[in-house]
Structure 1
Amino acid sequence: MEKDTDRLGIVFAVGAYLIWGFLPIYWKFIDYVPAGEILAHRIIWSFIFMVVIVLAVRKWPGFIRECKTILKDKKKFFSITMASVVISINWLTYIWAVNSDHVLQASLGYYINPLVSIILAIIVLKEKLNKSQTISVILASMGVLYLTFSYGVFPWVSLLLAVTFALYGLLKKVVDIPAMYGLTIETMIITPIALIYLFFLPENTFSLPSITTSENVILMGAGVVTAIPLLLFASGAKRIPLAMVGFLQYIAPTLMLQIGVFIYHETFSMEHLISFGFIWLALLIYLGSVYRFPIRKMKNVEH
């Protein structure tokens, strides 16, 4: 039974990362729509989809209780509001990057993300680095600096994606809410702002009279492609060891990298290779440091 649970967890986690990895292709279908408008629809339709899910699985009373608890707890309310803002910035940056032919920068951002999480843990949670983690952070910094100086352009897209997603993870750690309720509440908080933004837009791509057009379907589907991988990930992470989650998370940026180079023909120069090389080496050292003991333990159990 435990092996079946592990297999199911792997399927869920891999499914989540595959969807995230192929997501650039989805946004490219509507790359002519402004990133802000796409984001507004992503938030609104994610909220609607999550409400349908909560109702379908008969979790509405629990959702209402969670909302009341958060309203009574100022720290929780502030943290989940900040999480909503931070993930919205992350989504906006990601959509803009993909539709502005910066898929490689987006990929680099999600490679850097775990290393930014380490830095936040030191600053906010007062955690201490071991020797391997220190080397990882230094190598990753060298990769970013090399890319900056070789191109003369600061890779703000990569760093903004990495920092916002790391902050989102930190805030989610502070507020322990089930994934289903969490995403519903986060999108609910930002939905009024998204609706106001769309209302004041001079022109809207979305049109109710012609709701079945490809643009409308893709914009409405943004809620589905946002919620499903998050729910799959939450289900998978509960069933498999953290070590496995750590290795699987690099499926998404690796797919993004390949999509950027081979499908959208973005330039992958020697400078990119050297910079990514620093990041990949940093990640290998980091993963070896963090997951060495769980992996050994798993091997002993198997034998």
Structure 2
Amino acid sequence: MKTLKANPYYAAGIAAFVIWGFIPFPLKALAAFPSGQILFFRIALSIVFLLIISLLFRRRSIRSTIQQVKQSAARERRLFFTYTFLGGLLLTVNWLSFIYVINHINIQTGSFSYLLCPILTAVLGFLLLKEPLRTNQWLAIGLSALSCILVGTGEITSLLYSLLVGLSYAFYLITQRLLKVYDKIVLLNLQLILAFAFIAPFYSYFTSGTTPALNTHFFLNIAMLSALFTVLPLFLNLYALKELTSGTIGILMYINPLLNFIMAFLYFNEETTLTKVMAYLLIFVSVIIYNINLKGRKKTGAGMVIPPVGTTAVVK
């Protein structure tokens, strides 16, 4: 009975990551437009969609979060505003760099970033939050470092962009762990508003060169990014976390970069080198080793996987 009951939650979790796995399609359709312009409109529409949903269905959560902040100690309030601010800033950096990587570097680099991201998050959790790591997880971290060396020897630019995307989101996840007692949708609304405030003053800079005119094609793909690749999988993931452990979600998240890799080679005809193939296989093996022995993880609904323009990360 328990397995049958959990099926809809597994289906929701898998659906969320499958949707995020197809993010290169709308991004590639907008490749002619500047990355900053794409991000500007995507954030704006995402804010609109999330605010409508929050005001219609989550007003109680908004009131509860406001009351929670008001009643907290002065130090807790400062931490809330500091980490919310940092979260908005890190999301902006991550989303902008990811769009640029997909459209101007290659899909493989973007996918590699999010295979690395959980490992990077674990290292930062150990260094900043003193979270313990098992022996197999240290082995996985060592293999991940070796895969980075292999990528770096082939093309240092790809490695640097992978680390920028992966590290910016890993740091974002660390800030969110420190805000785990607050409602995640309310926090995401605030962070998106901050992200819009960060990027809006630079809109004229992003569009200063020769850019295509905004048309129906542009806004349809932007609406798809905002509604289909942000809001829908976000709520599917929240639904999944009602019954699934965040460790299980962490396993399911690898559907996304694997789909990215498949599309890069089979649909977008990207080429690679033997060195990169070895690096990708190595990081994949490290992911398997890292996630061995998940039985000891406690079930929690506090985590949430939030897409950096439709990609994934693990909150343990």
TM range (shorter): 0.7 to 0.9
1:193 matched residue in structure 2: 198
Superposition RMSD in Å: 2.4
Shift in Å, 1:158: 1.3
**Separation in 1, partners of 2:47, 2:186:** 11
2:188 matched residue in structure 1: 183
Preserved contact between residue 12 and residue 236 of structure 2 (Cα < 8 Å): yes
Preserved contact between residue 92 and residue 199 of structure 2 (Cα < 8 Å): no
2:221 matched residue in structure 1: 218
Equivalent of residue 262 in structure 2, options 236, 258, 261: 258
Change (3 A) 1:259 1:292: same
Other structure's SS at 2:30 match: coil
Whether 2:172 is the aligned partner of 1:168: answer yes
2:309 matched residue in structure 1: none
Shift in Å, 1:163: 1.1
Q: Which amino acid aligns with 1:235?
A: Y
Preserved contact between residue 105 and residue 158 of structure 2 (Cα < 8 Å): no
**Separation in 2, partners of 1:106, 1:195:** 24
2:123 matched residue in structure 1: 119
- TM-score, with normalisation over the residues of structure 2? 0.83
Equivalent of residue 108 in structure 1, options 108, 112, 116: 112
Change (3 A) 1:68 1:202: farther
Q: Which amino acid aligns with 2:134?
A: N
1:92 matched residue in structure 2: 96
Higher mean alpha-carbon deviation, 20-29 vs 179-188, is at: 179-188
**How many residues are matched?**
289
Q: Which amino acid aligns with 1:190?
A: A
**Separation in 1, partners of 2:240, 2:196:** 28
Change (3 A) 1:3 1:128: closer
1:82 matched residue in structure 2: 86
Deviations 1:168-199 (A, max 9, x none): 21111111222321221111222233443336
**Separation in 1, partners of 2:212, 2:88:** 24
Deviations 1:41-81 (A, max 9, x none): 11111111101111221x23532552464477110111111
1:62 matched residue in structure 2: 61
Unaligned runs of 5+ in 2: 299-316
**Separation in 1, partners of 2:107, 2:63:** 39
Other structure's SS at 1:33 match: coil
**Separation in 2, partners of 1:27, 1:153:** 21
Preserved contact between residue 41 and residue 194 of structure 1 (Cα < 8 Å): no
Preserved contact between residue 87 and residue 191 of structure 2 (Cα < 8 Å): yes
Q: Which amino acid aligns with 1:66?
A: T
> Residues 1-303 of structure 1: matches in 2 within 5 Å?
2-57=2-57, 59-67=58-66, 69-70=68-69, 73-153=77-157, 155-176=159-180, 177-198=182-203, 201-202=207-208, 213-224=216-227, 225-289=229-293, 291-293=294-296
**Separation in 2, partners of 1:229, 1:47:** 15
Preserved contact between residue 44 and residue 195 of structure 1 (Cα < 8 Å): no
Preserved contact between residue 41 and residue 219 of structure 1 (Cα < 8 Å): yes
Deviations 1:64-110 (A, max 9, x none): 55246447711011111111111111111111111114100111111
Other structure's SS at 1:100 match: helix
Preserved contact between residue 87 and residue 175 of structure 2 (Cα < 8 Å): yes
Change (3 A) 1:294 1:74: closer
Preserved contact between residue 94 and residue 161 of structure 1 (Cα < 8 Å): yes
2:306 matched residue in structure 1: none
**Separation in 2, partners of 1:97, 1:255:** 16
**Separation in 2, partners of 1:247, 1:12:** 14
